[in-house]
Amino acid sequence: MLRIHGSVRSRATRTLWMAGELGLSYEHNDILPRSPATKTAEFLALNPNARLPVIEDDGFVLSESMAINFYLAKKHKSPLYPSDPKNESLALQWSFWETDRTDRQITDYVNNTTGPEDQRNKAVADAAWAALVASLEVLNGALAKTSWLAGPDFSIADLNVAGALYRALFLDLAAWPNVARWLARCWDRPAAKKVRAMREG
Ligand SMILES: N[C@@H](CCC(=O)N[C@@H](CS)C(=O)NCC(=O)O)C(=O)O
Protein backbone atom coordinates (compact mmCIF):
# COMPACT_ATOMS: atom_id res chain seq x y z
CA MET A 1 0.00 0.00 0.00
CA LEU A 2 1.24 3.47 -0.91
CA ARG A 3 0.85 6.19 1.71
CA ILE A 4 1.56 9.81 0.76
CA HIS A 5 2.29 12.18 3.62
CA GLY A 6 1.74 15.83 2.82
CA SER A 7 -0.98 18.32 2.14
CA VAL A 8 -1.68 19.27 -1.46
CA ARG A 9 -0.72 22.76 -0.24
CA SER A 10 2.87 21.59 0.12
CA ARG A 11 5.47 20.15 -2.25
CA ALA A 12 3.32 17.01 -2.10
CA THR A 13 1.40 18.68 -4.96
CA ARG A 14 3.84 17.12 -7.41
CA THR A 15 3.67 13.71 -5.70
CA LEU A 16 -0.13 13.71 -5.82
CA TRP A 17 0.00 14.81 -9.46
CA MET A 18 2.33 11.90 -10.30
CA ALA A 19 0.13 9.43 -8.39
CA GLY A 20 -2.81 10.69 -10.45
CA GLU A 21 -0.90 10.30 -13.73
CA LEU A 22 -0.06 6.73 -12.78
CA GLY A 23 -3.61 5.94 -11.65
CA LEU A 24 -2.36 4.77 -8.25
CA SER A 25 -4.57 4.26 -5.27
CA TYR A 26 -3.04 5.57 -2.07
CA GLU A 27 -3.75 6.58 1.47
CA HIS A 28 -3.30 10.32 1.96
CA ASN A 29 -1.96 11.61 5.26
CA ASP A 30 -3.12 15.17 4.68
CA ILE A 31 -0.79 17.08 7.01
CA LEU A 32 0.53 20.63 6.66
CA PRO A 33 4.20 21.71 6.66
CA ARG A 34 5.47 22.65 10.12
CA SER A 35 2.31 21.26 11.72
CA PRO A 36 2.63 19.31 14.99
CA ALA A 37 2.03 16.13 12.98
CA THR A 38 5.44 16.64 11.31
CA LYS A 39 7.16 16.84 14.70
CA THR A 40 6.03 13.55 16.21
CA ALA A 41 8.56 10.78 16.86
CA GLU A 42 6.62 8.62 14.42
CA PHE A 43 6.89 11.16 11.60
CA LEU A 44 10.52 12.03 12.36
CA ALA A 45 11.35 8.33 12.06
CA LEU A 46 10.09 8.59 8.46
CA ASN A 47 11.76 11.92 7.71
CA PRO A 48 14.16 13.36 10.28
CA ASN A 49 14.10 16.58 8.22
CA ALA A 50 10.47 17.06 9.36
CA ARG A 51 9.50 17.98 5.80
CA LEU A 52 6.86 17.01 3.29
CA PRO A 53 6.30 15.04 1.16
CA VAL A 54 7.27 11.58 2.32
CA ILE A 55 5.97 8.29 1.00
CA GLU A 56 5.75 4.81 2.43
CA ASP A 57 5.39 2.14 -0.22
CA ASP A 58 4.91 -1.27 1.35
CA GLY A 59 7.42 -0.30 4.01
CA PHE A 60 9.85 1.52 1.71
CA VAL A 61 10.26 5.08 2.99
CA LEU A 62 11.31 7.91 0.68
CA SER A 63 11.49 11.68 1.00
CA GLU A 64 12.48 14.41 -1.49
CA SER A 65 9.69 15.09 -3.94
CA MET A 66 11.80 14.71 -7.07
CA ALA A 67 13.22 11.34 -5.97
CA ILE A 68 9.72 10.18 -5.05
CA ASN A 69 8.42 10.97 -8.53
CA PHE A 70 11.33 9.22 -10.23
CA TYR A 71 10.75 6.17 -8.01
CA LEU A 72 7.00 6.01 -8.65
CA ALA A 73 7.26 6.55 -12.42
CA LYS A 74 10.06 3.98 -12.78
CA LYS A 75 8.44 1.40 -10.52
CA HIS A 76 5.19 1.57 -12.46
CA LYS A 77 6.96 1.56 -15.84
CA SER A 78 5.25 4.77 -16.82
CA PRO A 79 5.80 6.30 -20.27
CA LEU A 80 6.44 9.50 -18.30
CA TYR A 81 9.81 7.98 -17.34
CA PRO A 82 12.02 8.40 -20.43
CA SER A 83 13.45 5.10 -21.64
CA ASP A 84 16.22 6.77 -23.61
CA PRO A 85 19.24 7.46 -21.35
CA LYS A 86 19.68 10.94 -22.78
CA ASN A 87 16.10 11.90 -22.08
CA GLU A 88 16.29 10.23 -18.67
CA SER A 89 19.32 12.39 -17.92
CA LEU A 90 17.56 15.50 -19.19
CA ALA A 91 14.71 14.69 -16.81
CA LEU A 92 17.22 14.49 -13.97
CA GLN A 93 18.91 17.67 -15.15
CA TRP A 94 15.68 19.66 -15.15
CA SER A 95 14.54 18.23 -11.83
CA PHE A 96 17.84 19.11 -10.13
CA TRP A 97 17.77 22.48 -11.86
CA GLU A 98 14.32 23.17 -10.52
CA THR A 99 15.34 22.27 -6.98
CA ASP A 100 18.33 24.60 -7.22
CA ARG A 101 16.95 27.48 -9.29
CA THR A 102 13.21 27.94 -8.70
CA ASP A 103 11.85 25.82 -5.83
CA ARG A 104 12.65 28.01 -2.85
CA GLN A 105 12.87 31.19 -4.95
CA ILE A 106 9.22 31.09 -6.03
CA THR A 107 8.05 30.18 -2.54
CA ASP A 108 10.08 33.01 -1.00
CA TYR A 109 8.79 35.46 -3.58
CA VAL A 110 5.12 34.58 -3.19
CA ASN A 111 5.23 34.25 0.60
CA ASN A 112 6.95 37.61 0.95
CA THR A 113 4.62 39.45 -1.42
CA THR A 114 1.23 37.88 -0.70
CA GLY A 115 1.61 36.33 2.76
CA PRO A 116 0.54 38.02 6.03
CA GLU A 117 1.80 41.61 5.81
CA ASP A 118 3.62 41.53 9.12
CA GLN A 119 5.61 38.51 7.94
CA ARG A 120 6.72 39.93 4.58
CA ASN A 121 10.34 40.82 3.99
CA LYS A 122 10.89 43.04 0.95
CA ALA A 123 14.61 42.27 0.67
CA VAL A 124 13.89 38.52 0.58
CA ALA A 125 11.11 39.04 -1.97
CA ASP A 126 13.33 41.19 -4.21
CA ALA A 127 16.24 38.73 -4.10
CA ALA A 128 13.91 35.81 -4.80
CA TRP A 129 12.32 37.65 -7.73
CA ALA A 130 15.70 38.47 -9.26
CA ALA A 131 16.72 34.82 -9.05
CA LEU A 132 13.37 33.67 -10.39
CA VAL A 133 13.55 36.04 -13.36
CA ALA A 134 16.95 34.61 -14.28
CA SER A 135 15.53 31.08 -14.08
CA LEU A 136 12.45 31.94 -16.13
CA GLU A 137 14.76 33.37 -18.80
CA VAL A 138 16.63 30.05 -18.92
CA LEU A 139 13.45 27.99 -19.05
CA ASN A 140 11.91 30.26 -21.67
CA GLY A 141 15.03 29.89 -23.82
CA ALA A 142 14.95 26.11 -23.53
CA LEU A 143 11.27 26.00 -24.44
CA ALA A 144 11.96 28.08 -27.55
CA LYS A 145 13.80 25.04 -28.92
CA THR A 146 11.62 22.20 -27.68
CA SER A 147 7.99 21.64 -26.71
CA TRP A 148 8.83 19.41 -23.74
CA LEU A 149 11.86 19.29 -21.47
CA ALA A 150 13.04 15.70 -21.92
CA GLY A 151 12.08 14.13 -25.20
CA PRO A 152 9.23 14.38 -27.66
CA ASP A 153 6.39 14.14 -25.13
CA PHE A 154 5.30 15.36 -21.73
CA SER A 155 7.44 13.53 -19.16
CA ILE A 156 8.44 13.47 -15.53
CA ALA A 157 10.73 16.42 -16.30
CA ASP A 158 7.76 18.60 -17.23
CA LEU A 159 5.71 17.35 -14.29
CA ASN A 160 8.48 18.00 -11.78
CA VAL A 161 9.24 21.50 -13.02
CA ALA A 162 5.65 22.56 -13.76
CA GLY A 163 4.48 21.07 -10.47
CA ALA A 164 7.04 23.15 -8.62
CA LEU A 165 5.97 26.22 -10.58
CA TYR A 166 2.34 25.94 -9.44
CA ARG A 167 2.50 29.43 -7.99
CA ALA A 168 3.64 30.78 -11.37
CA LEU A 169 0.13 30.05 -12.66
CA PHE A 170 -0.85 33.20 -10.78
CA LEU A 171 2.08 35.37 -11.90
CA ASP A 172 2.24 37.56 -15.00
CA LEU A 173 4.39 35.48 -17.34
CA ALA A 174 3.97 37.75 -20.38
CA ALA A 175 7.73 38.29 -20.52
CA TRP A 176 8.23 34.52 -20.83
CA PRO A 177 5.62 33.39 -23.38
CA ASN A 178 7.14 29.95 -23.97
CA VAL A 179 6.99 29.24 -20.26
CA ALA A 180 3.42 30.52 -20.07
CA ARG A 181 2.24 28.26 -22.91
CA TRP A 182 4.15 25.21 -21.65
CA LEU A 183 2.93 25.71 -18.07
CA ALA A 184 -0.67 25.95 -19.28
CA ARG A 185 -0.27 22.76 -21.34
CA CYS A 186 1.21 20.88 -18.38
CA TRP A 187 -1.49 22.01 -15.98
CA ASP A 188 -4.20 21.20 -18.51
CA ARG A 189 -3.65 17.47 -17.99
CA PRO A 190 -6.48 15.69 -16.16
CA ALA A 191 -4.25 14.59 -13.26
CA ALA A 192 -2.95 18.14 -12.89
CA LYS A 193 -6.45 19.62 -12.93
CA LYS A 194 -7.48 17.19 -10.21
CA VAL A 195 -4.60 18.33 -8.03
CA ARG A 196 -5.48 21.98 -8.68
CA ALA A 197 -9.06 21.28 -7.66
CA MET A 198 -7.80 19.62 -4.46
CA ARG A 199 -5.54 22.57 -3.74
CA GLU A 200 -7.95 25.34 -4.61
CA GLY A 201 -11.24 23.63 -3.75
N1 LIG B 1 13.61 19.37 -1.20
C2 LIG B 1 12.44 18.93 -0.47
C3 LIG B 1 11.81 20.13 0.21
C4 LIG B 1 10.73 19.72 1.17
C5 LIG B 1 10.15 20.91 1.90
O6 LIG B 1 10.86 21.89 2.24
N7 LIG B 1 8.84 20.84 2.16
C8 LIG B 1 8.19 21.89 2.87
C9 LIG B 1 6.71 21.92 2.51
S10 LIG B 1 6.40 22.48 0.89
C11 LIG B 1 8.24 21.60 4.36
O12 LIG B 1 7.89 20.53 4.79
N13 LIG B 1 8.69 22.61 5.15
C14 LIG B 1 8.74 22.48 6.56
C15 LIG B 1 9.76 23.38 7.16
O16 LIG B 1 10.29 24.25 6.45
O17 LIG B 1 10.03 23.23 8.35
C18 LIG B 1 11.47 18.25 -1.43
O19 LIG B 1 11.43 18.62 -2.60
O20 LIG B 1 10.75 17.32 -1.01
What confidence tens digit (pLDDT) does each residue in 87-135 have? 999 999 999 999 999 999 999 999 999 989 999 999 999 999 999 999 9
* pLDDT computed for residue 68 by the predictor: 98
The residue contributing the CA closest to ligand 1 atom 11 is 51
When pLDDT is cut at 50, 70 and 90, the band that residue 173 belongs to is very high
Query: How far is ligand 1, taken at its centre, from the CA of residue 136, in Å?
Result: 22
The residue contributing the CA closest to ligand 1 atom 1 is 64
When pLDDT is cut at 50, 70 and 90, the band that residue 29 belongs to is very high
When pLDDT is cut at 50, 70 and 90, the band that residue 1 belongs to is very high
- Is the CB of residue 65 below 6 angstroms from any atom belonging to ligand 1? yes
* pLDDT computed for residue 21 by the predictor: 98
140: amino acid identity, one letter: N
* pLDDT computed for residue 126 by the predictor: 98
Average pLDDT over residues 180-189: 98
Question: Does an H or E element contain 109, and which?
Answer: helix 103-114
- According to DSSP, residue 56 is labeled E
Average pLDDT over residues 36-65: 98
The domain ranges of the chain are 2-78, 85-189
Average predicted confidence (pLDDT) for the chain: 97
- Is the CB of residue 51 below 6 angstroms from any atom belonging to ligand 1? yes
Beta-bridge partner residues of 55: 4, 62
Beta-bridge partner residues of 62: 55
The residue contributing the CA closest to ligand 1 atom 6 is 51
CATH of domain 2-78: 3.40.30.10
pLDDT, tens digit, 9 for 90 and up, residues 83-93? 999 999 999 99
Q: How many CB atoms lie within 10 A of CB 35?
A: 14
The percentage of the chain sitting over the pLDDT mark of 70, rounded to a whole number, equals: 100
Upstream peptide bond of 53 is cis (omega within 30 degrees of 0) = yes
Where would I find the H helices in 23-145?
A: 41-46, 65-75, 85-101, 103-114, 122-145
Helix, strand, or coil (residue 127): helix
* pLDDT computed for residue 160 by the predictor: 98
Q: Taking a C-beta distance cutoff of 8 angstroms, is the pair 197, 7 a contact? A: no
When pLDDT is cut at 50, 70 and 90, the band that residue 15 belongs to is very high
Whether this model's pTM surpasses 0.85: yes
Average pLDDT over residues 10-21: 98
In this structure, which topology does domain 85-189 adopt according to CATH? Glutathione S-transferase Yfyf (Class Pi); Chain A, domain 2 (1.20.1050)
**Pairwise CA distance, residues 79 & 155, whole Å:** 7
* pLDDT computed for residue 190 by the predictor: 98
- Is the CB of residue 39 below 6 angstroms from any atom belonging to ligand 1? no
One fold for 2-78 and 85-189: no
